[in-house]
Structure 1
């Protein structure tokens, strides 16, 4: 990057006191991680150039949520042509979809995505209706494989993800490998379809084939006019797991998901959330005045995207069993006393301890409902 390179975005902040959305120009200088903000309506400097370690270059893309001095900003558009030109290919997006045949392997697949240098900017598990599948695959209508494809894609849950990176459309298709899984095993043995696919239809994952398709397909799942799709939450004998923003930013989410499944639990639904401060305070309210790190816990939950999972699979004992598997709040204690727990393996400190889990069994359903009935709708 050139000396003092500057990226400019149009940003919005919801002011809870005035109950209005305030608009700013957000400027970020990656060479020294400084930022400044200009108030568009009042035509004046709002924040002089200041150090901002909470924002990274990787966070700079349209629709990203960033935290700047306790304010949660949404970057809604590029603010100048230089930023648009500089970042449009480096921040290219595409759709990745884990198909029903590979949904049980979503943890290792997500880990391959992070290891491949991609960022996941949106994700949700759902089950396609016949109408959804027919609409999504409309370009293939009339082809010999169309009916079988629609039938297969509606046979179980799928996980749709929006990936971002440099030349992502081509890079993701390269990581997928050839459409035919048997051909992938001979020509690209390290590809996703070689490892997890079965044939040409049951080939683990889907990837957009062009930039135009990527725009259409990501909008189909995540755009403002996306059809209403129900999540796959069971809302029974369940508990809540939140893979925290720091663990997500470090690319550990796939490994954590795989570890949960390997321990005998089921992940019955999953979704990526960008949690606003008011929601974080509400969700963590039980810790207010009880845990010294409450404010830091709220800040951590708002630091960036997190994955929320509904965990099932152990019947009425699911919440308690999962709580034991997660381990003590302090990862240092976990590493001494419970070496095989999630926090021992993936946590940093008491705040950045990789995952939140439901502490009391009776709260498991309430926490799952908070995300998958209240926030997601």
Structure 2
């Protein structure tokens, strides 16, 4: 019985509006785990809450669970199963945290409790926040005007850009809007803005270059613990390269170093430790290009010029074969940028023999094909989608002749001459032969992605939803209006079988007709022209 009493005293159970009002009137800090009846409170944090309560033994610290279904003030949290923790002091929301991230949760509790004690002892105002993950429709519309969606964003090709991330810990503390204002006040231009919660797989992919670091798993867990704000940033006149300007503005990655050497930097002001340093910035142009492709695959580049329309901006495929990719990757990328190309998309991959045969199907009967096959499967190939006026012809001109010996003799400054491999008849760089071939080859290395979209039963305005899907650049290749059988619904949601809401979810999916769409979207950047 004693254990049960301790459990009850640990968390207050709030089930209606009256109990909610009573809880908000408590003196001190109230940490609320918001849940729904079909989802249940987050059991994973009960042990942490007990540990914190026992260690601090503070009467000003209160924990509660609140069922959103029965509380009017929590209506906006209905229909969501992600663990959400609301921090209240003096009846005001002072912080929000999503996901059962124990280190961040403990840190937030300690900080907000300290802040509230300071208010109670010395007076002063509390810093109320709003839950940025739950904005009203009109707020979303207003925000869209300030931060256009990536589908509508245009940037001149002669402007540099960087990708910035306001990390989950800063967003959870309600500081994102404050930081965005400082960014704009400093003369930076926000070209795109998206709030996004990374999955663990996405975080692993984004930080794959840090996979060997001892803190990698902790970094992945942290970056997928809650929403981040992802920004594409440029700079006004007088700044040729925004990347060093942005990195100077946010300060060193090490928070202690930032506080010591650049106390006015964003990381000094908002970071707390190495991983929780508040903000991210692309390290160089190549990384910025990769990160832009990761978060905004349909970001638009616009070109202002007075050239005749017969010289349009176009795309071409460039391949850097394994030997050159291994030995001269950075130098080749630098030469590409110096030649005025924009790298719209890039990836490194190990090709199979089957993929080589398929890509070079017209060369299979040539006597050099076996050497080509051996070369192309000997290591990682760097594939690039390049953008420029007359990209196909320009790229082929700077490549030089296909034969490395001929390239050295006739065009010693060409890329194939300068990056040739001793005693090899295979040149180290590939370029598309025509605009038509470029489109086919780009699709080979950067194929459109498929996804399944389900418009659930009883959803209103299905036609408008389908129109919006297409307006966002997706192609609906298949559409089926059907009622799922119980067996089909159970199979479709089998990964949720052990969840308490599984039966309710299956019943809901079987009770009426739903729309099942196969949607496809290109991963290649869109190019727009402004003349």
Give TM-score, length-normalised by structure 2: 0.33
Larger radius of gyration: 2
Structure having greater relative contact order (Cα 8 Å, sep ≥ 6):
1
